[in-house]
Amino acid sequence: MHDTIAVLDFGGQYTHLISRRVRELGVYSEIFPFSVDLSELDGRRVKGVILSGGPRSVYEEGSPKIGYDFFQWCEARGVPVLGICYGHQLIAHVFGGEIERGERREYGKALLYVEDEDELFRGLGVVETVWMSHGDAVTKLPEGFKVLGRTEGTPIAAYADPERKIFGVQFHPEVAHTSKGLKILENFAVKVCGCRPTWVVENWAEEA
């Protein structure tokens, strides 16, 4: 059984691309519904979890959500979490941060100003190009979280809770328009989660 990065699907258009990018790094990745039973994840060698983007608002009735119990499950097993776009907002929401509707939707390329590289941004420059596609934004971080980066339109474009190994990025590292996106995913999967980059698609075909 391979080290696995589990991608929870919140309805984002790039969910399958996230999983594909992780596999390109030599790390096995599998997509699960956001409502996956945690006992199913217990049966896999899950070393990290990525929460995908999605079209909904965390304050919208009926929007897909996970509760604090999910993060307790991760913390008890030493499993780091990375939230992307909606996932970034959802993490902040669950831990008591604030999310607000932006005055204007931020869509397209933006300049990310790295304020704290931490483990997630190791190897990035002070300024990097990222791809944004969001209306809501995190405006206040929960206790224990710190800002890693900002853009002109989004003061909290990336954050981390170093103690619990929880990270969030408002932008999309999985798309080619984000210049160091693959490096960010590599930092998370290999450096933070400790996955061994030994998976190749040929092995998967043989095991299927």
pLDDT value at position 202?
Answer: 59
pLDDT value at position 135?
Answer: 75
List residues with catalytic annotation: 85, 172, 174
pLDDT value at position 205?
Answer: 47
pLDDT value at position 201?
Answer: 74
CB atoms within 10 A of CB 204: 12
pTM, two decimals, is: 0.94
Closest CA to 83 of 194, 188, 2: 188
Domain that holds residue 200: 4-207
Q: How do residues 72-105 score in pLDDT, each as one tens digit?
A: 999 999 999 999 999 999 999 999 999 987 666 6
Is the pLDDT reported for residue 117 higher than 60? yes
* Percent of residues, the chain, with pLDDT higher than 90: 83
d(CA 157, CA 181): 14
Q: How many domains does the chain contain in total?
A: 1
127-140 β-sheet, strand order = 28-33, 4-9, 46-51, 81-84, 166-169, 158-161, 146-150, 98-114, 127-140
Q: How do residues 149-204 score in pLDDT, each as one tens digit?
A: 999 989 999 999 999 999 999 999 999 999 999 999 999 999 999 999 999 875 65
pLDDT value at position 133?
Answer: 82
Tell me the CATH number at 89: 3.40.50.880
